[in-house]
Amino acid sequence: MRPDSDPPQARAPIGIFDSGFGGLTVARAVMDQLPNEDVIYLGDTARAPYGEQSIADVREFTMECLDHLVDLGVKALVIACNSGSAATLRDARERYSVPVVEVILPAARRAVATTRNGRIGVICTEATATSMAYDDAFAVAPGVQLFTVACPKFVPYVEAGITGGPELLADAEAYLRPLKAAGIDTLVLGCTHYPLLTGVLGIVLGDDVALVSSAAACADSVYSVLTRAGLAHDEPREARHTFLTTGNPESFSRLGRRLLPDLITDVIQFSEPWKGDWRERAWS
């Protein structure tokens, strides 16, 4: 491909932000949908988990990280964190000139298109549940009844590398019991860690309940936004994926490779002095 075949802005990377590791499921989905795109992923692992933080703190942390990604010259922002999306979406779209895509509205739209009986469940963190962001997202959908359950133990399981076993199964059965009793036929995985638990969720809920991944729905939205804006790479190219963390890069790399093999390359600690001009590298 000729180096000038895309406009300069299209050659910029996509910026993906998450409080920690869960957003890697979004990153994987975005890379699968848009394999020609450079990606810069920033995980705020030093201050994670966000699900236990106040909405005010989540907003502050998220906007700070989004500012850093914008400073690196990204062409679009992806808030790959349900808690961060709930706390900052309106502010982010008003603050930045680049497109902003989050995980809540795309998942809600997909769930509405999927449900047969209008009874939709959402599992999420405490912060997301408290924000009522999913209630707002579904408010305009006629005939939908929403049932939300916070599942605070699920993130620690995933980040410990536990995606099965009797203890996790017992907790999943306890969390999902009221949703089964409500007769839901669609469940939104309202935390980007949760797609890694689809096995145990499927066992508890059975085949009649459709699982809607906020990660996959978000990636579809990123594809649509970039394509419509003329910001997508049109031809095959070798994409570069950069992973930044505010925490320990070795720990991030180790857990990231365990959760999503072959996704993680080198991980850089965000607080380290930059080597070279990242904006120039991203746009080159």
Q: Which residues are catalytic?
A: 81, 191
Report CA Rg, the chain: 18
Strand partners for 11: none
d(CA 224, CA 280): 26
Beta strands in 99-256 (DSSP E): 100-102, 119-124, 145-150, 186-190, 210-213, 241-245
* Nearest of 167, 12, 48, 229 to residue 221 by alpha carbon: 229
CA dihedral 276, 72, 239, 251 (to 10 degrees): 80
d(CA 97, CA 222): 16
φ, ψ of residue 186 in degrees (nearest 5): -145, 135
d(CA 264, CA 241): 8
Residue located via tokens 């449900």: 115
d(CA 104, CA 128): 10
